[in-house]
Amino acid sequence: MSNNLYQDKIRDIRFKYVDRKQERKADLFMGLWLELKISVTQNQSKRVIIKQEKRLNEFFSKKEILAMLEENKEIAQKALYLEILDSALIYQKACLEDRNYGSKFLNLIRMKDDEIAYKAAKEVYQIIIPALMSMDNRFWRNQMITALHVAYQEIFAKEAFKPEILFDAADLQLNEELNNILMSTLKNEGAE
């Protein structure tokens, strides 16, 4: 099976019809990002993280995904990473461009670009990535961590904050673990 066929199959999993009559599809990967963000932002308890881990593992353990991984693990994982990265880029771009996300004082004042970048960085490096890192070490977890980091750095570019700035002295081990995950995933997925 070629790379494009794997990519097409993963896109079929990612985009599902919510209304066939009007041909509207939902992006299930975006749904995963938003559900994860909302859950762990509201409550970072172990119970909430375990629930999210179970939800993510169920999604990435769909029989279609498992069949592709069994057939050709390397190509299937690369195709899956590309879709996870694409959804992370869309998610971070929405943070940058959304009027509500980038406003303060009851939507009366738009934040400066560096303020939006800082708000997104705190969300990425102090909430979502630590929650993912506290989950069991699975390929999808590492792909999500890497994709979110890459997407944040790419979308916010010159305003982007480096993760080590957002980790305090107690989280230096977390920063080292993050760097190991990033290097390993980028190497394995053939991304740069």
Cα 6–chain centre separation: 20
**Model-level pTM?**
0.91
- Residue 190's pLDDT is 62
- Residue 174's pLDDT is 84
d(CA 31, CA 34) in angstroms, rounded, equals 5
Q: Say which residues have a Cβ less than 8 Å from residue 10's Cβ, sequence separation at least 6.
A: 65, 68, 76, 79, 80, 83
Each residue's pLDDT tens digit, 126-181 = 999 999 999 999 999 999 999 999 999 999 999 999 998 887 655 778 888 999 99
Look at residue 23 and give its three-state secondary structure. coil
Residues in the chain: 192
Residue type for position 9:
K
Instruction: Identify the residue whose tokens are 């909302």.
Output: 38
d(CA 83, CA 56) in angstroms, rounded, equals 15
Give the mean pLDDT of the chain: 90
Q: Domain map of the chain by residue range?
A: 3-17+26-188
- pLDDT(1) > 80: no
- Residue 192's pLDDT is 44
